[in-house]
Structure 1
Amino acid sequence: MKKKLLGLGLAAVMSLSFATGAFADTKTNNVDVTIESGEFSLATSNIVSFGKVKLKETPQRYNTSFGGKFTVKDLSGRQVGWRVDVSATQFSDGTNKLPKGTLSLSPVSTIKRVGTGQGALPVPATTANKIIDDGAVTIVKANAGSGMGVFEFEFPQNALSIVVDPTTAKLNSENAVYTSTLTWDLVQAP
């Protein structure tokens, strides 16, 4: 009888052990993914010509606009932030140049995210018109930890301004076409 009771007691303990998971068998599996850096790019807009202007007795300001939106894609995954800088060459007709400080740019008017994403939006880096033909100017920036995704920004109408001064504009004939080149840099840094 002792043997029977001992066997019954052992069966009860084993049954209790299985029910509480004391004899569980755990397995683990690892899974991995390789994430590669994506696109880091800037798409710019065309610029409407200032057209023909006539020299007047006093310096005159003329304005023009961009034809569309600018797009920044930061799919790099680095989260270090970025900025957009712009600079322009002096207006030149190939022989003569207008003085530095002739061309200015208004601040960005709108910035929006394209598609889904999280984090803070980039911000305009200026709040007033800036001279852009005398060195680079930062116009939009995203701080470290923000600016990941795709963003569009726009300038207001008549964002580009030129001042034409009759005392500094030189013409070798009845008229001259002066041109300037704007350079836009997307820099991966806050």
Structure 2
Amino acid sequence: MKNKIIGAMLFSTVLLSTLAATPVFAADAPQPATSKGTVSFTEATGPVDPVDPTQPGTGNTGPLTIDTVPDFAFGEHEVTGSSQKYASTNTGAPYLQVSDRRGVGVDGQAQGWVVDVSMSEFSDGTTTLPGTELSIGTGLVDAPDTNTNTGALPTASAVNLTPTTAATTILTADKGKGLGTWMEAFDPASVNLTVPQQAKGAFESTLTWTISAAPVE
């Protein structure tokens, strides 16, 4: 009888040891499940309205646009026969507005852009004012509250324009900057027109503003 009890105990010990050593198969473990989140975007096509509606929009469309550009007025003056410099008579702050709605590139960064400006001769249709120079001081760069990329401001530059000079860069967003809508507001006191030789009449010049993608770095 004693031997039977001992034998039963040994059998139980071996059985428990065997069960403890048996691994739990992966198929018996809880399995994960997957789901998806999706979003898609299309290229921007419509125009962007001016932030300040007192200045008309250009109506330009597409993902990289100039939305509004400033006119500069210099008043009415008597002919003096000598070179004169005239400050802008604009009220408020005439401004340039651009929008970059291209999104980030494959590297996850804004692609950057450059705005250039050039001017034509001041003319009344028959007569021009030779040697005229337009100086535009560095403007104040800002963005509307809807733009959340304000940690990377574009860079403004002062320009001196004549009808014979090439287009000059006035606002630049380097790689990693420039997403969304931006404005450069100009102080009228820093916008000046120098006219070496005046003539009787009303004269007008056309300023041409262009925006282009920044060179790939």
Structure 1 residues 103 and 176: alpha-carbon distance in aligned structure 2, compared to 1, 3 A threshold: same
2:15 aligned partner: 6
Gaps of at least 5 residues in structure 2 are 1-7, 45-62
2:56 aligned partner: none
Contact 2:70 2:95 in 1 (8 A): no
Q: How far apart, in 1, do the equivalents of 2:34 and 2:127 lie?
A: 75
Point out which structure has higher relative CO (alpha carbons under 8 A, 6+ apart): 1
1:32 aligned partner: 38
SS at match of 1:114: coil
Matches within 5 A, 1:10-159: 10=19, 17=24, 23-38=29-44, 39-64=63-88, 67-77=93-103, 78=105, 79-99=110-130, 101-115=131-145, 116-117=148-149, 119-126=151-158, 129-134=159-164, 135-159=166-190
Contact 1:72 1:152 in 2 (8 A): yes
Gaps of at least 5 residues in structure 1 are none
Stretch moving more, 46-55 or 90-99: 46-55
Q: State the shift of 1:123 in Å.
A: 0.6
Contact 1:119 1:148 in 2 (8 A): no
The count of residues paired between Structure 1 and Structure 2 equals 178
Contact 1:37 1:76 in 2 (8 A): yes
Q: How far apart, in 1, do the equivalents of 2:27 and 2:174 lie?
A: 51
User: TM-score under structure 2 normalisation?
Assistant: 0.67
Contact 2:133 2:195 in 1 (8 A): no
Q: How far apart, in 2, do the equivalents of 1:46 and 1:139 lie?
A: 13
Larger radius of gyration: 2
User: TM-score under structure 1 normalisation?
Assistant: 0.75
Q: State the shift of 1:146 in Å.
A: 1.1
Structure 1 residues 65 and 8: alpha-carbon distance in aligned structure 2, compared to 1, 3 A threshold: farther
Which letter maps to 2:114?
R
State the percentage of identical aligned residues: 28
Stretch moving more, 104-113 or 41-50: 41-50
Structure 1 residues 118 and 97: alpha-carbon distance in aligned structure 2, compared to 1, 3 A threshold: closer
Q: How far apart, in 2, do the equivalents of 1:165 and 1:109 lie?
A: 26
Q: How far apart, in 1, do the equivalents of 2:28 and 2:154 lie?
A: 55
Q: State the shift of 1:4 in Å.
A: 9.6
